[in-house]
Amino acid sequence: MPYVRIWVHLVFSTKNREKLIFRELREKLIEHIKSNAKTKGIWIDSINCTDDHVYVLLSLGTEQSVSKVAMLIKGESSYWINKNKLTSTKFEWQDEYYAASLSESLLKNVREYILNQEDHHKNKSFSDEYTELITQLKEINS
C-alpha cells in the first residue's frame, strides 16, 4: 500500500473578491467544508476564512490532484451556500486559486498563519498579499 504525504496550502476567494463571508457564516462554512471534505476522502489539517477568501492546509491522497480537490471543495461549498440561501446574493468562488506544496518543517508556521488570518489582514489586504506572492513565485521561476 502506498504512503503519500503531499502537503498543500490552498487559497481561494469569492468571485470578484466580494465580501460575502460575513462572521455568522464563517464558522458554518468552515465546518461544512471540513465535513464535506471528510466524506470525499480529503484530509484537511487546518482551515480558516475571512470575508472574501479561504485558507486550507491539506494533504493529498494517492488518487487526488490539487485541481480536483480545489474543484470539489469550492464547487460543493458554493452549492451548499446557495441551496441554503446563506447569502443575500448568488454565491460564487473565483475560478482561480493559489496552491503551493510545502515541507513538513513548515507545517507549524502555515497552521499559525492560517489560524491568525484576521490579525494578519489588519495590516495587508488579501489582494496585496496575493499580488506579492505571485510576484515572488514568478521571480523564483525565472
Helix (H) or strand (E) holding 11: strand 6-13
Tens digit of pLDDT for each residue in 51-86? 999 999 999 999 999 999 999 999 999 999 999 999
User: Is the pLDDT confidence value at 7 over 80?
Assistant: yes
Tens digit of pLDDT for each residue in 77-125? 999 999 999 999 999 999 999 999 999 998 998 898 888 877 655 666 6
pTM above 0.95, yes or no: no
Helix (H) or strand (E) holding 8: strand 6-13
Beta carbons within 10 angstroms of residue 37's beta carbon = 20
Tens digit of pLDDT for each residue in 126-139? 666 666 666 655 66
DSSP state of 19: -
pLDDT interval class at 11 (50, 70, 90): very high
CATH architecture observed for domain 6-141: 2-Layer Sandwich (3.30)
Matching residue, cell 480529503? 42
pLDDT interval class at 45 (50, 70, 90): very high
Phi-psi region of 17 (alpha: psi -120 to 50; beta: other; left: phi over 0): left
- Sketch the domain layout of the chain as residue ranges: 6-141
